[in-house]
Each structure stands twice: as structure tokens, then as C-alpha cells.
Amino acid sequence: MSGEVVNLRLARKARRREQDEARAAANRARFGRPGAERAAEAAEASRAARALDGKRIEGGDG
């Protein structure tokens, strides 16, 4: 049973750092965009929704 000796405190800290970095990367992607870019994306989504609604066929008594 001769394996590598692991300091659990250091291993926990390393795992915590990796988790924190992953969370930070997700937050950067989510919140780190300029206002103009967010507004453009919202306008595009709105335009797409209106285009889809315009193509909807209203059902009658058929």
C-alpha cells in the first residue's frame, strides 16, 4: 500500500479554488457583457418572437 501521500487540507483548497473559478467563469459569461450587447440580444429575441407570432395560424371552428 505505497501510494502518494496527499495533504487533505491542500486538496480541499485546490478543489475549492477550481469550483470558485468555474463559478466566476459562469458569472463573467452571464453578467460581463456590455449593456448595448444585452439590449441587442433582447431586441433580437423580441423580433424573433414577433415574427413567430405573425406566422401563427389562428384556429377557427374547423
Task: Tally Cβ neighbours within 10 Å of residue 51.
Answer: 9
Is the model's pLDDT at 1 over the cut of 80? no
- Domain map (residue ranges) of the chain: 8-54
pLDDT for res 44: 95
Is the model's pLDDT at 24 over the cut of 90? yes
pLDDT digits (tens, 9 = 90+) for 35-52: 898 899 999 999 999 999
SS (H, E, C) 3-61: CCCCCHHHHHHHHHHHHHHHHHHHHHHHHCCCHHHHHHHHHHHHHHHHHHHHCCCCCCC
pLDDT for res 38: 87
Q: What is the CA angle 22-23-28, rounded to 5?
A: 100
Is the model's pLDDT at 33 over the cut of 90? no
